[in-house]
Structure 1
Amino acid sequence: MQISIEGRRALITGGSKGLGLAMGLAFARAGGHVALVARGAEALAAAKAEIEAAAPTAKVAAIAGDIRQASECVRLHAEAEAAIGPIDILVNNAGTSQRGPFLDISDALWQDDLDLKLMAAVRFCRAVLPGMRARKWGRIINVLNIGAKAPLATSTPTSVSRAAGMALTKALANEYAPDNILVNAMLVGIIESDQWVRRHAADKRNITWEEWKEEQGRVVPLGRIGKPEEFASLALLLASEQGGYITGTAINVDGGRSPVV
């Protein structure tokens, strides 16, 4: 099956590296145009150049900003539409894994996590939904974590904000289904990305990246960690016409690691 999103325009937060970049590449190669949003201008420029080299006919915009700020979400959406046109596909991908013992998490840390992972998604959804509704076509993909369904000890605040993102997904899917706007969540397991590169760098045991990946893969039924391209392939399906009967789902992309819930 050849999946195409020819002419569709996607806004991807957290788009400069890892999963965000992989999705940008997949969308552009499938005929779409992409606006990448992230905080680091240098990484964004590199991502833009990589996508343009891989898909020369795609329009690619790289827009730096801090999505934890409400006014920045408004600006970033406006600049994305000015650069590539009305947004058909929104991918709320930005986020870090803020976690620790519950009693050590301050109000400030809770608020920062909720602003980044939940409120930014709320604000971008609010920005794109009127246009999607008018055109009777839209796709929203919320990138969450398997902890949204099965939180572990010391996983707050990230598991709580991710669970809220799952509830947001289902509520919007039900509300906007009559407008042909599909809303789904993808729940990340252990997939090779910038976040896991940072975790390896913080490991004090002085083991190689390949050794570290092999070790992490032992807890996954498939016996390995995932590849960004595998994650991006599912995102492309959900963003396409071929995924037109999938909405309101929260799909684990974790090599079988999670229990059935």
Structure 2
Amino acid sequence: MQLTLDGRKALITGGSKGLGLAMGLAFAKAGGHVALVARGADALEAAKAEIQAAAPAARVAAIPADIRTAEGCAAAAAAAAAAIGPIDILVNNAGTSQRGPFMDISDALWEDDLNLKLMAAVRLCRAVLPGMQQRRWGRIINVLNIGAKAPLATSTPTSVSRAAGMALTKALANEYAPHNVLVNALLVGIIESDQWVRRHAADKRNITWEEWKEEQGRSVPLGRIGKAEEFAAMALMLASEQGGYVTGTAINVDGGRSPVV
């Protein structure tokens, strides 16, 4: 089975690196057009060039925006539609792993995390859903973390905002299913991406990236950490026509690491 997008237009937040870039590449190679949204203009342009080289027929837009604000979300959604056309697929992928002892997390950190991971998704969904509903076709994919289902100690605020994203996923899936708008979540485990590269860089033991990956892989039943391309393949399935009977799910992409399904 070949997964295809057949000209569908996708807006991907956090699209300049890691999982966002991998999804942009997968979508464009499958015949889609992509608008990448992130804060760093240089990284966005590099990602755009990489995707355009891999899929010359695709329309690719690089849109610098800070989606932690309502104004940033509105500007990003408008720029994406102007660049590639009405948005058929929204991937809410932007986010960082803000965590620490509960008593050390200030109101400002809570607000920043919720604005980036929850309110940005809310606002962007609000921007694209009317068009999806009118055309009777749409896909929304919320990229979360397995901590949304099984939060660990010192995992706030990130696990709380991710759990809220999972509830948003189910509520929207139920509301918009009659309009053929499908809403799902993908829950990330340990996958080779920019976030984990940064964690390796912060490790003070001076071990190599390969040694670090091997060590992390021991906690995964499959015995290794995942690849961004493997995650992107699952996102492509949900975004495609072939994923047309899947909605309201929160799928773990974690090599079996999560203690719950």
TM-score, structure 2 normalization:
1.00
* Alpha-carbon separation, structure 2, partners of 1:164 and 1:136: 26
For residues 137-171 of structure 1, the C-alpha deviation after alignment (integer angstroms, 9 at most, x for no partner) is 00000000000000000000000000000000000
* Alpha-carbon separation, structure 1, partners of 2:110 and 2:94: 16
Contact 2:45 2:62 in 1 (8 A): yes
Q: 1:238 maps to which residue?
A: 238
* Alpha-carbon separation, structure 2, partners of 1:190 and 1:173: 26
Q: 1:214 maps to which residue?
A: 214
Consecutive unaligned residues in structure 1, runs of 5 or more: none
For residues 199-232 of structure 1, the C-alpha deviation after alignment (integer angstroms, 9 at most, x for no partner) is 0000000000000000000000000000000000
* Alpha-carbon separation, structure 1, partners of 2:181 and 2:6: 17
Letter paired with 2:203: D
Contact 2:149 2:260 in 1 (8 A): no
For residues 163-201 of structure 1, the C-alpha deviation after alignment (integer angstroms, 9 at most, x for no partner) is 000000000000000000000000000000000000000
1:225 to 2:221 alignment: no
Q: 1:7 maps to which residue?
A: 7
Letter paired with 1:108: A
* Alpha-carbon separation, structure 1, partners of 2:86 and 2:199: 37
Q: CA deviation at 1:117?
A: 0.1
Q: CA deviation at 1:259?
A: 1.6
The 5 A counterparts of 1:109-148 are 109-148=109-148
| 1:245 aligned counterpart, secondary structure | coil
1:171 to 2:171 alignment: yes
* Alpha-carbon separation, structure 2, partners of 1:191 and 1:2: 24
Q: 1:247 maps to which residue?
A: 247
Letter paired with 1:162: R
Q: 1:82 maps to which residue?
A: 82
Q: 2:61 maps to which residue?
A: 61
| 1:142 aligned counterpart, secondary structure | strand
Q: 1:41 maps to which residue?
A: 41
Letter paired with 1:27: F
* Alpha-carbon separation, structure 2, partners of 1:31 and 1:164: 32
* Alpha-carbon separation, structure 2, partners of 1:65 and 1:173: 27
For residues 27-75 of structure 1, the C-alpha deviation after alignment (integer angstroms, 9 at most, x for no partner) is 0000000000000000000000000000000000000011001101001
* Alpha-carbon separation, structure 1, partners of 2:80 and 2:258: 36
Q: 2:96 maps to which residue?
A: 96
| 1:215 aligned counterpart, secondary structure | helix
Q: CA deviation at 1:103?
A: 0.3
Q: CA deviation at 1:260?
A: 2.7
Letter paired with 1:253: V
Letter paired with 1:240: S
* Alpha-carbon separation, structure 2, partners of 1:196 and 1:211: 13
Give the % identical residues: 85
* Alpha-carbon separation, structure 2, partners of 1:163 and 1:252: 13
Q: 2:184 maps to which residue?
A: 184
Q: 1:28 maps to which residue?
A: 28
For residues 110-161 of structure 1, the C-alpha deviation after alignment (integer angstroms, 9 at most, x for no partner) is 0000000000000000000000000000000000000000000000000000
* Alpha-carbon separation, structure 2, partners of 1:141 and 1:57: 24
* Alpha-carbon separation, structure 2, partners of 1:39 and 1:260: 34
* Alpha-carbon separation, structure 2, partners of 1:164 and 1:213: 30
| 1:115 aligned counterpart, secondary structure | helix
Contact 2:150 2:260 in 1 (8 A): no
| 2:170 aligned counterpart, secondary structure | helix
Consecutive unaligned residues in structure 2, runs of 5 or more: none
TM-score, structure 1 normalization:
1.00
Q: 1:50 maps to which residue?
A: 50
| 1:90 aligned counterpart, secondary structure | strand
